[in-house]
Structure 1
Amino acid sequence: MSNRHSDEIDPVTGYGTTGHDWNGIKELNTPFPRIVIWALILTFLYSVVAWILLPAWPTGKSYTKGLLGLDQGETASEGYATIAAGRQDWMARLQSEDFGELQADVSLMRAVLPAAKRLFADNCAVCHGASGQGNTGFPVLADDNWLWSGEPDEIADIIRFGINSDHSDARISEMPSFDWMERADRIKLARLVAVLPNQVTDPESPASVLFMDNCAACHGDGGAGGLGIGAPSLTDGSVIYGQDAQTVLQTLNRGRKGVMPAWSGRLTDAEIKLLTLFVVQMGQSHGEAER
């Protein structure tokens, strides 16, 4: 590479060269693009105007307000107040009317469900999924399978008090460990439970006898479920931890005790009713889709 002063003019572009030569490739001495210069000038002028008109510079505990006096905090508060005022009528109805009256009013349900969907996304979706599809250890809400009844009042109480929570009115649901049982018997039980959703089992088999002696008291004869005591059905494929033989064996070895927190301290009664209506609607939509 050579580096020397040059007055040479490039015959193609008409620009002079810098005198830099890289193995026969010469560098043109082109001027800085005017459009970039103007863009920089306009950007600087805009920043000066923005500093004057808009909130900009921190001043310790506060900031310069700008000549326009804009405050996004106040704007957000005003927007929230507007939304709250628009909801006031139906929020009052949620507090005073029972679920049957609320569900019978089609126009009311149409108005409240968008707000209910947002409330569900903010408080429930992280565990139960955005569409109530459930996750490992967290039940599906978009179906008709419930540990207790799926009646709205029962769902509302579960939201309000929780399951295995520290609330005195919480629902209790616990699968004890069967580690006291012989491992061979636990394996037999695990294999039996794994096939219950898909096939009829021999009630006289050793595994079925083990089930009747140790599991039927909670899960019902044949694993049909103990509705009302928090023992799930083992025949509908809705077990939240999984129902393959290996997972069932882990459950027998260690037990299970999931927790649904109580929401009574965070959500109002009207919001709990709103969530309940949304959960019920998800289950109804699932039933209609299956039909």
Structure 2
Amino acid sequence: MSEKEIDSVTNVETTGHEWDGIKELNNPLPRWWVYVFYATIVFSIGYAVYYPAIPLIEGATQGISGETTRGQLHEEMAAVEAGRADMLEQIRGMEVGEIPANPELARFASAGGASAFKVYCSQCHGSGAQGAAGYPNLNDDDWLWGGSIEQIAATIRHGVRYEADGDTRWSEMPAFGRDQLLQREEILAVAHYVRSLSGLEHDRGAMDEGARVYAENCAACHGEDGLGNTDLGAPNLADALWLYGDSQQEIVSQINNPKHGVMPAWGERLGDAVVKQLAVYVHGLGGGE
């Protein structure tokens, strides 16, 4: 039996392994570390036996407990849905205008509406419902189709100019320039008159002609005083809120060849309860009538 080599520098026995003049010292691991390592092996075996852990071709071993985080999530979500079911059933059975009178139900509906708004409405109306060019601001009190909670619910349910829904909100402004219903000079004059209704700068010399053109062609929908008509979806022209811009050029463009926005009908897709929750949320933003 050969004698074990002792390193001359450290006085520690070597393993006999050497590489490029470097010898490996035989320093054993600390006992506590070895025991901990053995304990982790025992723990891992117990874990694999108790919990689903070993992947198979399809699925995995079920383990003694059969518990998974996915299963726990399903149980928690089922409990949440069960808790919401009663509130949702109450909402389905009520008229939307009755919901705000029940504080607890109103809070629930508004919270649900806020969540649905982020998913389905914020892409057009903005995360804060502030709108954008061509997309109405839902925080103000200017409502094309009415701002009562019932009217808001109807607009959400059936959409605007959404041909797939037979009860959709529908109105179209004639293309007075494109279809040659008015002359260029008449369109310019009525644009100045419309700007005067909301106190914007305008050509006073065009007012008489603009008033005549307005009375003959525009008042039937927008009203004699320009306050609009929610039954027809005709906007108020006498305030400072303009969906497609208030400059002379933008107003002339809208009279010439008007833009008509389209909003999907959400009733069939989202269901009655979610539509009512959205109506409660939007109405509560501050601009609802």
Considering the TM-score relative to the shorter chain, is it more than 0.5? yes
In 2, the alpha carbon distance for the partners of 1:271 and 1:140 equals 21
Cα deviation code 1:42-88 (max 9, x no counterpart): xxx9xxx8xx88879795xx565797977565444333322211211
Cα deviation code 1:202-231 (max 9, x no counterpart): 796211211112111111113111231111
Paired AA for residue 266 in structure 1: R
Alignment of 1:82-231 (within 5 A): 82-166=79-163, 167-179=165-177, 180=180, 181-198=182-199, 205-231=208-234
User: What's the offset of the Cα at 1:199?
Assistant: 5.4
Change (3 A) 1:207 1:107: same
Q: Structure 1: which 5+ residue stretches go unaligned?
A: 1-44
In 2, the alpha carbon distance for the partners of 1:236 and 1:175 equals 19
Q: Is the 8 A contact 2:192 2:207 kept in 1?
A: no
Aligned to 2:245, what secondary structure does the other structure show? coil
Moved more, 107-116 or 81-90: 107-116
Higher RCO, 1 vs 2 (CA within 8 Å, ≥6 residues apart): 2
Alignment of 1:26-37 (within 5 A): none
Cα deviation code 1:130-189 (max 9, x no counterpart): 221111111111122212232222211111111111211111121221121222222222
Identity %: 32
Say whether 1:80 aligns with 2:77: yes
In 1, the alpha carbon distance for the partners of 2:146 and 2:214 equals 24
User: What's the offset of the Cα at 1:249?
Assistant: 1.6
Q: Is the 8 A contact 1:55 1:70 kept in 2?
A: no
In 1, the alpha carbon distance for the partners of 2:67 and 2:249 equals 61
Larger Rg over CA atoms = 2
In 2, the alpha carbon distance for the partners of 1:197 and 1:205 equals 17
Paired AA for residue 199 in structure 2: N
Corresponding pairs, count: 237
User: What's the offset of the Cα at 1:104?
Assistant: 1.1
Aligned to 2:232, what secondary structure does the other structure show? coil
In the alignment, which residue of structure 2 is the partner of 1:243?
Answer: 246
**Structural RMSD (CA):** 3.1
Paired AA for residue 281 in structure 2: F
